[in-house]
Structure 1
Amino acid sequence: MSESNKTLDFPTILASSAHDMKNSLCLFVQAIESLAERMQGQPESEELARLHYEAQRINGSLVQLLALYRHEHEPLSFDAEQIFIEELLEEVLLNHELYAEHRQIETELRIDSELQWYVDRDLLSNLLNDIVANALRYSADKLLITASCENQQLHICINDDGEGYPAEMLKASTQPLQQYDFSASRTGLGLFFAQLIAQTHKNQNGCGHITLANGGELGGGLFRLVLP
């Protein structure tokens, strides 16, 4: 068969393109952060903060797209390592520091500094970055992240003081993975991605899961991640 007659593998091409875009976007985000640092206090810094936030959201979507493409062809790879949970959460908050400062949102991290857990650091980082980005978007002026060991499980809770999750989102979060609806909005994809990563963490005590609720410590939305 000649080269011109070969059938294009569009999903593979799309995944490869998304990977290249993600790498370029990371450089773009770094450039924004560098500019923002030099322009602190100037009117343009607010536009840079919004641009940084949207670039982070696009990057998160590309990460999800690549992960879901791989999941469709083979089980999601899982590389467990023991890490300090506080260090990971501090890194996640640092990724969103520019936007939080722009919106004057107070962020609080409440966790035992010695808390360690076996997780896939990259997968968990991707999940938490997406959830924190959304929580900051809908917070009024405060975000609280807690982490603790309860009944031999790791509980990470992300609380905001916004208006809470809409009813359809609360309902969607309880559905099995195979019933998630991606057609309505990016929300369906984000929830599927979070649940998929949670369930990838498993041992003899079971597998991880997520829950959404309203109320919590700040009266707004509460995202809870539970890992065995």
Structure 2
Amino acid sequence: MNIEKNELNDFSLVLASSVHDMKNSLGMLLASLEDVMAKVNSINPECKNDFSILQYEAARINSELVRLLSVYRFQNDRMPINVDEHHVIDLIEDQIAKNQPLLTSKNISIDIDCDDSLTAFFDFELLGGVINDALVNSSRYSRERILIVVRAIDEFTEIAIHDDGDGFPVDMLGLVDDKTGVNVEFSERTHLGLYLAMRIARLHKSGEVCGQVFINNNSLLGGGSFMLSIP
């Protein structure tokens, strides 16, 4: 039994290492793809949409690899967190820039309502991944608009992403308590991105107060709304 357990641990370690290498290689591929797009689009603009779709699919695979690596780190208590003070607008604009080709190809406009001077304490990379996933998800279901609203309320900084799509499915809404943001027990029907967003949010603490994630269909644009709240 111990041998089987050790073998499983070894396999998990090898798998995590392989995922990390694949993620790095895919990151290099995405960077090269951006260079190719810049050159080809100026010569043949008709290829722009095809390249945008290719970039989106590659970015989606990269996000899935990041999620797998995050699950491994959470399960083995190896999730690093580097909290520092950052301007929230930098976090938002950084993720929009990464997804601008996708947004442009889908003819989705995006607006930001955020005080440029607002700062908060958080891990820029971890929260960037959460916002990126939420933004990509919104772009998949939006018709033509996305609105990001950032507010400092009491001891929390709230980042809400609103879309004008059809909203979240009812069964998905049931995965999150609309008052505490706490997820039900992780199972096969729980969306991995949402699960990781909750785990990352709760890594951000101030005393006994933890970060939270909320989803609802009360979007300011009539669709779904994803909100990240950190102390």
d(CA) in 2 for partners of 1:147, 1:75: 30
Q: What's the TM-score, normalizing by structure 2?
A: 0.90
Match of 1:3 in 2: none
Q: CA deviation at 1:109?
A: 1.1
d(CA) in 2 for partners of 1:149, 1:204: 18
3-state secondary structure, aligned to 1:173: coil
Contact 2:163 2:224 in 1 (8 A): yes
Over the aligned positions, Cα root-mean-square deviation in angstroms equals: 1.7
- What is the correspondence of 1:123-162 to structure 2 with a 5 Å cutoff? 123-162=126-165
d(CA) in 2 for partners of 1:178, 1:113: 35
Match of 1:33 in 2: 34
Change (3 A) 1:7 1:201: closer
- What is the correspondence of 1:1-228 to structure 2 with a 5 Å cutoff? 7=7, 9-40=10-41, 42-74=45-77, 76-174=79-177, 176-177=182-183, 179-181=185-187, 183-184=188-189, 188-204=191-207, 206-228=209-231
Contact 1:212 1:224 in 2 (8 A): yes
3-state secondary structure, aligned to 1:172: coil
Contact 1:157 1:222 in 2 (8 A): yes
Structure 2 regions of 5+ residues with no counterpart? 1-5
Contact 1:173 1:191 in 2 (8 A): no
Change (3 A) 1:11 1:212: same
Contact 1:214 1:222 in 2 (8 A): yes
- Stretches (4+) displaced over 6 A: none
Q: CA deviation at 1:36?
A: 1.9
Q: CA deviation at 1:39?
A: 2.9
Q: CA deviation at 1:55?
A: 1.1
Give the aligned residue type for 1:10.
F
Q: What's the TM-score, normalizing by structure 1?
A: 0.91
